[in-house]
């Protein structure tokens, strides 16, 4: 939500933003639903040009756009300000090296969201977050009563204190508790392939068959984790 002061009086106009699953502002509307701005984007944040003004309308009305970040047109550079770095949506690259690049040896320190902007977001130019699919999958495995005790923060971390307040003894909920309090760091991902590049889809029988997923352990002989995290990967198309 935003507001705009009218002249020299204390009268303000409130505006509301309609965002997609990546936090990208698609529309800005008034309290009555009247549209003030509409913007559509290429995958890495480039703004579409629409001469017919059907998909794009009043693009410069406000500058908070892709991922909810401010569009900076200074000197014609046209980048997005993420705080730690500036993102160039045309090059699909950052303007400087990732300050946490040693966590992701297999990814270019200039690459935006491991080159997968549809599935991942980068809230401040430093870390990669998975989308909400894995969180939804976890919540869907428990009862509605148990789900009230499962809460994720903006970084996808589970609230352990709230989790421990639930006295459920179901095997599934207890498993989630054990993972949450473990000294190991578990990362749940929805993906179509592992870190080794092997797809979860088997084409060997002609018709194809989906595997359910894979668990990548640090130091494993086959399909090891790329770092010290334990990755539990699940294919997107499974229920």
pLDDT digits (tens, 9 = 90+) for 138-169: 788 889 999 999 888 877 778 888 988 999 98
b/e per residue 147-181 (b: at least 16 CB within 10 A)? eebbeeeeeeebeeeebeebeeeeeebeebbebee
> pLDDT value at position 139?
82
Widest CA span in the chain: 73
The model's pTM: 0.51
What is the chain's length? 239
Reported as a single tens digit per residue, the pLDDT across 70-94 is 999 989 999 999 988 999 999 999 9
Confidence band, pLDDT 50/70/90 cuts, at residue 130: very low
- Lowest mean pLDDT: which of 81-90, 114-123, 204-213? 204-213
Q: What is the mean pLDDT of residues 200-214?
A: 56
Alpha carbons within 13 A on the beta-carbon side of 94: 24
Confidence band, pLDDT 50/70/90 cuts, at residue 119: confident
Mean pLDDT rounded to a whole number for the chain? 78
> pLDDT value at position 145?
92
Query: Which residue has better confidence, 125 or 207?
Result: 125
Please, what is the Cα angle at 141 between 140 and 146, to 5 degrees?
85
- Lowest mean pLDDT: which of 32-36, 93-97, 128-132, 140-144? 128-132
Of all residues in the chain, the percent with pLDDT exceeding 70 is 71
């Amino acid at each position: 939500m935003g507001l705009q002061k009218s002249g020299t009086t204390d009268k303000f106009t409130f505006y509301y933003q309609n965002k997609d699953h990546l936090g990208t502002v698609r529309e800005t509307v008034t309290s009555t639903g009247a549209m003030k701005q509409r913007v559509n984007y290429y995958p890495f944040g480039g703004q579409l040009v629409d001469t017919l003004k059907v998909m794009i309308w009043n693009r410069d009305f406000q500058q908070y756009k892709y991922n909810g970040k401010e569009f900076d047109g200074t000197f014609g550079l046209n980048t997005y300000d993420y705080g730690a770095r500036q993102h160039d949506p045309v090059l699909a690259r950052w303007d400087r090296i990732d300050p946490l690049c040693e966590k992701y040896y297999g990814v270019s320190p200039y690459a935006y969201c491991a080159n997968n902007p549809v599935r991942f977001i980068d809230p401040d130019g430093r870390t990669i977050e998975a989308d909400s699919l894995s969180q939804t999958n976890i919540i869907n495995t428990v009862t509605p009563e148990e789900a009230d005790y499962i809460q994720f923060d903006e970084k996808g971390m589970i609230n352990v204190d709230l989790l421990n307040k639930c006295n459920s003894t179901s095997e599934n909920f207890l498993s989630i508790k054990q993972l949450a309090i473990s000294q190991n760091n578990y990362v749940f991902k929805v993906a179509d392939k592992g870190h080794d590049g092997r797809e979860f889809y088997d084409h060997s029988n002609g018709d194809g068959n989906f595997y359910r997923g894979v668990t990548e352990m640090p130091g494993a002989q086959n399909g090891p984790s790329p770092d010290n995290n334990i990755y539990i990967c699940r294919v997107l198309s499974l229920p």
